[in-house]
Structure 1
Amino acid sequence: MRSYSHNSPEAAARIVALLLISDGNVSRQELEALYGQDIERQIGLAPGGFAQVLNTLCEDLLMAAHERRVLTGSIDQATLDAVMAEVTEPDLQHTVLYFADAAAMADSHVAAEEAWIMRAALTQWRVSKLPAQG
């Protein structure tokens, strides 16, 4: 999986994108929750930037799936930790958590995979609770 500069908008957006696709079902409600709260501007991406990060993530996962012969096996704990380690700035971490939570809650169902990513972020970033929706 490619890496991004630490604390870059792309590194932050990739974590949200990973949560978005983690359960294998990207719903319209999830996308509306992100774009309705202006994710690209809030994270610092140019218009269309979130879709590009999402596309790049899918490419990376497909390449890893080809090597391992299974898509779900392309993200392990070490890979997830490395992706999370690219965001170290607390305000950016809170922004990522805010959007990840918005996406996870948008369809009124938090899948096990989404919960795994949220727990990993909270643990690695030593955050005790999700930022308030506002």
Structure 2
Amino acid sequence: MKTYPTDSQEAVCRLLALSMIVDGHLAPAEVKAMEHAAILERVGADADGFDAVVHALCEDLLATARCRAGCEVELDKRLIDSLLDEVADPLLRMCTLKAMLDIVHADRLIDGREHLLLQRALKKWSTPAHERLPVPEG
């Protein structure tokens, strides 16, 4: 999986994109929610930059993620954590998490995969690094 500089617009865009596609489909309401949150402007990203990150994310997921029955992509908790680690600034984390919540809630249904992503973000970003336990495999 490609890495991005910590607190970069690409790191934030990837988390937003993951919030949109983690449930296996992209709902128009999710795109509107992201636009309404205005987070792309806040991090200095534009639509073309976001699209490039979405494209790279999809390629990376197809190349590196395990597939479940029916070829649905299954995300590993360690992978999610590594993506979350690329956003370290507390204020940027809060803005990113708010946008992620808005995105996954936009279609009025929180899928199990969306729940896992949000749960990992809340846990990782609300626990000081020195108090974190190692993530079990799986």
Do the structures match in fold with TM over 0.5?
A: yes
Residue 19 of structure 2 aligns with which residue?
19
How many residue pairs match? The answer is 124
Letter in 1 for 2:102: A
Name the TM-score, length of structure 1 as normaliser. 0.84
| Distance of 2:23 and 2:93 partners within structure 1 | 22
Alignment of 1:18-57 (within 5 A): 18-57=18-57
**2-side partners of 1:40 and 1:90: how far apart?**
17
Whole-Å Cα distance in 2 between the matches of residues 102 and 114 of structure 1?
12
SS at match of 1:17: helix
Structure-2-length-normalised TM-score: 0.82
Gaps spanning 5+ residues in structure 2: where?
128-138
> Runs of 4+ in structure 1 displaced over 2 angstroms?
36-39, 68-71
* Residue matched to 2:4: 4
> Percent of pairs identical after alignment?
31
Cα distance between partner residues in 1 of 2:88 and 2:36? 26
- Correspondence 1:99 to 2:99: yes
Post-superposition CA distance 1:31-71 (Å, at most 9, x none): 11112332320232134222211111001111125xx5555
Letter in 2 for 1:117: L
Structure 1 residue runs without a partner (length 5+): 128-134
